[in-house]
Amino acid sequence: MTENNNIPKDAILFQQLALSFYNSAWQNMGKVANPITQKIELDLPSAAFSIDMLDMLKSKMKGNLNDEEERFLQNAVSTLKLNYIEEQKKAEQMKQDENKTDDKADNNQQPTTNNQ
């Protein structure tokens, strides 16, 4: 099933699992295009789930990982968390900007009364 017989099957499967969550997080943060639709999509709850899954793998696998696997998970989780916070702030700012725009539009549409 594996082409390289020097690498244990479990190591390859673990790497693929971790990369699956890693890539999913980037995609759901809108940092890379969806490979199927070729569109940039933002789904922060799904990104958070993928990051949490990697973080859980890191903690549950502690002591069972080689140095390279441990380093990858540590760097992946740290980088993803920092980018998630950045995207979350952007989303909050966009929401605030939309609310300000909506408020201005509502104020402009209110009927004026002329009591002369």
Residue 39 carries which DSSP code? -
Number of separate domains in the chain? 1
**Which residues, other chains included, contact 17 with Cβ-Cβ below 8 Å and sequence gap of 6+?**
57
SS3 call for 8: coil
Range of the domain at 68: 9-90
H or E stretch at 41: none
Q: Is residue 24 part of a domain?
A: yes
Q: Is residue 46 part of a domain?
A: yes
Q: What confidence tens digit (pLDDT) does each residue in 66-89 have?
A: 999 999 999 999 999 999 999 999
Residue 47 backbone zone (phi > 0: left; psi -120 to 50: alpha; other: beta): alpha
Q: Is residue 54 part of a domain?
A: yes
Q: Is pLDDT at 4 greater than 60 in this prediction?
A: no
| CA dist., res. 16 & res. 28, Å (int) | 18
Q: Is residue 82 part of a domain?
A: yes
Q: Is residue 112 part of a domain?
A: no
Poorest-pLDDT segment among 38-47, 93-102, 107-116: 107-116
